[in-house]
Amino acid sequence: MAGRSIPSNMYKQLIQLFVQSVGINEASRRPRIRWNTVRRYYRQLHDCLAALSRLSQKEEPELDVWFNPPCVVDVNRERYQDLAAFASKQPGHTTIHQLG
């Protein structure tokens, strides 16, 4: 069946086989997972590994921004007030302001 996934308890086993550099053929025999499925998950794991490798090459300021992105909140206050006014007119609807 195309696009079929493996049981969640096998993910960890498949990751361990990937980290141990076990080939796709052998990895598909051990937990009895189809070869194409193992190949698909190995590709995903390889992509993750490549991303981690690129991340590890970044300098500290870039890593700081990556792990702690600036919090930018753009609130359209007028739109918020319109929505709050509309919600307060709805029967049986409680707004945040009414709870306070």
pLDDT at site 1: 42
Compute the average pLDDT of residues 72-100: 68
State the residue for tokens 């409680």: 94
Averaged confidence pLDDT in the chain: 79
Residue 98 has pLDDT above 60, yes or no: no
Would you give the DSSP letter of residue 85? H
Residue 8 CB-half CA count within 13 A: 0
> Which residues, in sequence order, are CB contacts of 84 under 8 Å at separation 6+?
95, 96, 97
Compute the average pLDDT of residues 29-35: 85
Compute the average pLDDT of residues 45-55: 86
pLDDT at site 63: 80
Compute the average pLDDT of residues 10-16: 86
- Rounded to 10 degrees, the C-alpha dihedral 12/13/16/18 comes to -110
Share of the chain above pLDDT 90, in %: 13
- Mean pLDDT is lowest, of 18-27, 52-61, 89-98, for 89-98
Residue 41 CB-half CA count within 13 A: 24
> What's the whole-model pTM score?
0.54
